[in-house]
Structure 1
Amino acid sequence: MQNRLTSWWHEHAPRRETFENSRILAPIAHRVLAPELWRFTRRSVPRGVALGLLVGIFLMIPGLQIAGAAFLALPFRANIPLAAAMTFLSNPATTPLILWASVYVGNLALGRSSEIAQFMALMEQHASMARWFQWLVSEAAPAMIFGLALIAIAAAVIGYFLADWLWQQHLWRKWKARRGD
C-alpha cells in the first residue's frame, strides 16, 4: 500500500515545472518557485501539514482550499505540495462530520442552541440551497463558523506537532540504521 501511494503521489503531485510554465503565476513565480518551498525539510513539513489542515477544514470550498493553502505556504515558508495535499482531509465523505462537529463545538463555546437535529434533517432530505441558506442565517451561522475556526486551529496545532514528531522519529531511525544498531 505504501509503495502504491508513494508512486501515485510522485506521478500526480504538482511539480515546480508545472508552475514555471504558467502565465497566471508569472508575476509571483520567483516566490512560488523558491526551492525551499518544494523540499521536504524538518521545518517546512510541519508547517505544510498545519497550513493544509487549517485551510482545508476552515475553507470548505473545493479548489479554493488548495489554492489558499498554496498561497499561505509562501509567507510561512511551508512545503507547498504537502499543504495542498492536506486540504484533502475535508472531502465529500468527511464534510458532513466536520460541519456537524463545528455546529456542536460552536454551540458549546458560544452557549447557543442551534439545532443539530435540523442540520441532520437537511442532510437526509437533500435540501435545496435556499433551505440551507435559511438555516445558516438563523442561529446556526455563528455557531458553525466559530466551531469551524476552533476545529481548524486545533487540527492545525495537532497536525504540526504530530508531523514534527514523525519527522524526528524518521531521522532517529535513519541515524540508528547508519550507526548499525
Structure 2
Amino acid sequence: MAKKTIQRFLPDHNKIKQQKSLKIFGRLLHDANLWHLNRRSARGAFSVGLFFAFIPVPFQMVLAAAFAIPFRVNLPLSVALVWLTNPLTMPPIFYCSYLVGVLALGQETQPFHFEASWEWLSQSLSTIGPAFIVGSLICASIASVIGYFGIDYLWRRSVNRAWSSRRS
C-alpha cells in the first residue's frame, strides 16, 4: 500500500534523467538502485529529501540528487521531497527555522523588514543569519530523522496489514 501510494506521486524516471541540472551526474544516473522503490530506498530518500528541503540554499534538488546517489536511495523521491519548501511554504518554514535558531543560540529575535537589495542581504546575514542557519540545520536534522523512521514505520505497518488481510 505504501509503495503504491508513493509511486503514484513520483515523476517518471526518464523525465528526471533528462533534467539539464542533473546532467552533471552523467552515468551515475544509470544505477538501477536509484530508481527502485523499496523500504530501504524510500526511508533513505525521505531522509535525504527532507534534510535538503530545510536547507536555505539554491539548487536544493541538485544537492538532494548528489546525496541520493552515494547513499543509493530512491532518486526521484529524494528530489521530489525537496519541493516541500516551495514559494508558498518557504516563508513560514524558514521563519520557524529562524525561531528555532534563536532559541538554540539563546538570542532575542531581531526585527527585520524584507527588502530586495544586496545591502539588506549583507546586513541581515550578520544580524539574523547565524540564528537562521543554526535553526535550519536543526530543523533539517529533525525532519530527516522523523522522515526516516516515520516512513520505515508506515512501510512496515502497510506490509503487516497486507499479510494479515491475505491470511483472512
Both proteins in one fold, TM over 0.5: yes
User: 2: CA distance between counterparts of 1:27 and 1:114?
Assistant: 41
Q: Which residue of 2 aligns with 1:72?
A: 67
Shift of 1:105: 0.9
Q: Which residue of 2 aligns with 1:110?
A: 105
Q: Which residue of 2 aligns with 1:128?
A: 116
- Comparing 131-140 with 34-43, greater Cα deviation is found at 131-140
Any runs of at least 4 consecutive aligned residues in structure 1 with deviations exceeding 4 A, and if so which?
none
Residue 49 of structure 2 aligns with an amino acid whose one-letter code is: G
Report sequence identity in percent: 31
Shift of 1:49: 0.5
Q: For residue 100 of structure 2, give the secondary structure of its aligned residue in structure 1.
A: helix
Q: Which structure 2 residue ranges, 5 or more long, are not aligned?
A: none
Equivalent positions of 1:1-181 (< 5 A) are 9=9, 13-16=11-14, 19=17, 25=23, 28-29=26-27, 31-61=28-58, 64-115=59-110, 117-118=111-112, 121-122=113-114, 127-130=115-118, 132-180=120-168
Give the conservation status (yes or no) of the 8 Å contact 1:102–1:151: yes
What is the root-mean-square deviation in Å for CA atoms of aligned residues? 2.6
Give the conservation status (yes or no) of the 8 Å contact 1:114–1:143: no
User: 1: CA distance between counterparts of 2:166 and 2:65?
Assistant: 35
Say if 1:166 and 1:112 are closer, same or farther in 2 by CA, change over 3 A: same
When Rg is computed on C-alpha atoms for both structures, the one with the higher figure is 1
Higher relative contact order (CA 8 A, sep 6+): 2
Give the conservation status (yes or no) of the 8 Å contact 2:51–2:144: yes
> TM-score w.r.t. structure 2 length?
0.84
Shift of 1:14: 3.6
Give the conservation status (yes or no) of the 8 Å contact 1:46–1:161: yes
Deviation string 1:32-66 (CA, Å, 9 cap, x unpaired) is: 221111111111000001100101111442xx111
Residue 138 of structure 2 aligns with an amino acid whose one-letter code is: L
Give the conservation status (yes or no) of the 8 Å contact 2:64–2:82: yes
Give the conservation status (yes or no) of the 8 Å contact 1:48–1:73: yes
User: 2: CA distance between counterparts of 1:52 and 1:154?
Assistant: 12
Q: Which structure 1 residue ranges, 5 or more long, are not aligned?
A: none
Residue 17 of structure 2 aligns with an amino acid whose one-letter code is: F
How many residues align? The count is 163
Q: For residue 43 of structure 1, give the secondary structure of its aligned residue in structure 2.
A: helix
Say if 1:111 and 1:92 are closer, same or farther in 2 by CA, change over 3 A: same
Say if 1:17 and 1:97 are closer, same or farther in 2 by CA, change over 3 A: closer
Shift of 1:28: 3.6
> TM-score w.r.t. structure 1 length?
0.78
